[in-house]
Amino acid sequence: MTYKSMPKVEIHHHIEGAAPPKFIAGLALEKGIDISKIFDADGGYAYDGFGEFLATYEAACTPLTGPQEFYRLTQAILAEAAEHGVVYLETFISPDFCGGGDVAAWRDYLAAIEQAAAEAEHDAGITLRGIVTAVRHFDPDQANLAAKCATETAGDFITGFGMGGAETHLRPADFAYAFDMAREAGLQLTCHAGEWGGAAMVAETIRDLGVTRIGHGIHVMQDPNLVAEAVEKGIVFEVCPGSNVSLGAVTGWNAHPIAKMRDAGLKVTVSTDDPPFFHTDMTREFTLLNRTFDWDVVDFSALNKTAMEAAFCDDATRAKIAEKLGDAQ
Ligand code: ADE
Ligand code: ZN
């Protein structure tokens, strides 16, 4: 059975990380930028381990030089996601790669992304929302600039604030100011934690940043007390199994804790993170969950429902997603 046509809700996805390597290679050629070393012999992204992944990721962003490039990128990723049945997508967008943290420049990038999103909603029925995202290893001052961009543009499209990057760089509390700014602007909060850091990193992220969602969070399972706390607080885990396997955060699909997380009562969702980097898409994630854990349509409907309920969107949008999920199941 193929799960391609089943409607899906995806809430952990990086806009730059979703850029097809061919798209980036083509842009680099247009602009005379030599980033040939980031591609392997098959034209895919080349890296070995998380450190190299981050370096390749940042190099892949260099041809994304202006709003027009993000317009084209958004068109490409939404067409691809819609092909895999995604009806609602939340993507992380970093002001660092969209104007360097300058609010005026950021507004121009955002306008281009929103334009492409509006067109894709009309043409392909996929809804996009943006989560402004700080890059942790760029340090707290830069995170504060990202948060400022987020607060200035919070609204119907920018609905959340988060942070990715090198998880073991500094502690969550070092970024509290950025998250406080975002919260005060009414944005909803998520942060990568427990992908590379242990359960303590998840605990500090919940406590010091006040997030309601955790990106990845797989190492929460090291601490049964924290699991109980996360269950009690209704924390939602944005789990990306294919990403974890590809980057080596787990040793393989069989070793992935997602089934144990769900069985422990945690709220789990499934997303692709950076699909072309991990040679994945939402259809493949569902297919491998089926092969590994025997999950099927009932389980995937539950994942969709959890993601829909946890989505950083208004109630009218949530009702629209519910309708799309309901109609097709
Ligand atoms: N940025 C893009 N993908 C990421 C990941 N898997 N972890 C941390 N930061 C990221
Ligand atoms: Zn991520």
CA of 248 from ligand 2 middle (Å) equals 14
How far apart are the C-alpha atoms of 16 and 27, rounded to whole Å?
Answer: 13
- Per-residue pLDDT band at 53 (split at 50, 70, 90): very high
Element (H, E) at 162: strand 158-164
Pocket-testing residue among 16, 192, 205, ligand 1, by greatest number of atoms within 8 A of Cβ:
192
The predicted-structure confidence for 176-230, as pLDDT tens digits, reads as follows 999 999 999 999 999 999 999 999 999 999 999 999 999 999 999 999 999 999 9
Give the ligand whose atoms come closest to the C-alpha of residue 11: 2
How many helices and strands in the chain, by DSSP H and E? Answer: 13, 8
How far apart are the C-alpha atoms of 304 and 22, rounded to whole Å?
Answer: 30
Contact 38, 266 (CB under 8 A): no
How far apart are the C-alpha atoms of 218 and 212, rounded to whole Å?
Answer: 15
Inform me whether the pLDDT recorded for 327 exceeds 70: no
Is there an atom of ligand 1 within 6 Å of 273 CB? yes
Two tokens, residue 83: 């092909």
Is there an atom of ligand 1 within 6 Å of 243 CB? yes
Residue 298: CB atoms within 10 A of its CB come to: 8
Spacing of C-alpha 241 from chain mean position: 13
Query: Catalytic pick from 167, 195, 238, 285?
Result: 195
The predicted-structure confidence for 223-282, as pLDDT tens digits, reads as follows 999 999 999 999 999 999 999 999 999 999 999 999 999 999 999 999 999 999 999 999
Q: Where are the domains of the chain?
A: 8-19+66-327
Inform me whether the pLDDT recorded for 316 exceeds 60: yes
Contact 146, 165 (CB under 8 A): no
Closest among 89, 94, 162 to 129, alpha carbons compared: 89
Length of the chain: 329
Listed in sequence order, the residues at least 6 apart from 100 whose beta carbon sits closer than 8 Å to its beta carbon are none
CA of 163 from ligand 2 middle (Å) equals 9
Contact 21, 45 (CB under 8 A): yes
Two tokens, residue 21: 């390597």
The DSSP 8-state label assigned to residue 175 in this structure reads G
- Per-residue pLDDT band at 1 (split at 50, 70, 90): low
Is there an atom of ligand 1 within 6 Å of 242 CB? no
How far apart are the C-alpha atoms of 72 and 93, rounded to whole Å?
Answer: 15
- Per-residue pLDDT band at 310 (split at 50, 70, 90): very high
Inform me whether the pLDDT recorded for 329 exceeds 60: no
- Give the CA dihedral 58, 13, 192, 270, nearest 10 degrees: -140
How far apart are the C-alpha atoms of 285 and 278, rounded to whole Å?
Answer: 11
Contact 304, 8 (CB under 8 A): yes
Pocket-testing residue among 47, 50, 53, ligand 1, by greatest number of atoms within 8 A of Cβ:
53
Two tokens, residue 310: 């946890």
Give the ligand whose atoms come closest to the C-alpha of residue 10: 2
Is there an atom of ligand 1 within 6 Å of 14 CB? yes
State the closest ligand 1 atom to the C-alpha of 165, by its place in the atom list counted from 1. Answer: 9
The DSSP 8-state label assigned to residue 34 in this structure reads -
Give the ligand whose atoms come closest to the C-alpha of residue 137: 1
Residue type, 83: E
80 belongs to the catalytic site: no
Quote the pLDDT of residue 2. Answer: 86
Contact 280, 286 (CB under 8 A): no
Side by side, the strands of the sheet bearing 213-216 are 8-10, 86-93, 127-135, 158-164, 188-193, 213-216, 236-239, 267-270
DSSP-assigned beta bridge partners for residue 130: 91, 158
Mean pLDDT in residue range 119-127: 98
- For the domain made up of 8-19+66-327, the CATH class stated in words is alpha beta
Quote the pLDDT of residue 160. Answer: 99
SS3 229: helix
CA of 164 from ligand 1 middle (Å) equals 5
Q: Angle of helix 67-83 relative to helix 103-124, nearest 10 degrees?
A: 30
216 conformational bin, left if phi > 0, alpha if psi -120 to 50, beta if neither: left
Residue 329: CB atoms within 10 A of its CB come to: 12
Inform me whether the pLDDT recorded for 315 exceeds 90: yes
How far apart are the C-alpha atoms of 173 and 158, rounded to whole Å?
Answer: 24
Inform me whether the pLDDT recorded for 172 exceeds 80: yes
Pocket-testing residue among 50, 271, 272, 273, ligand 1, by greatest number of atoms within 8 A of Cβ:
273
Mean pLDDT in residue range 166-179: 98
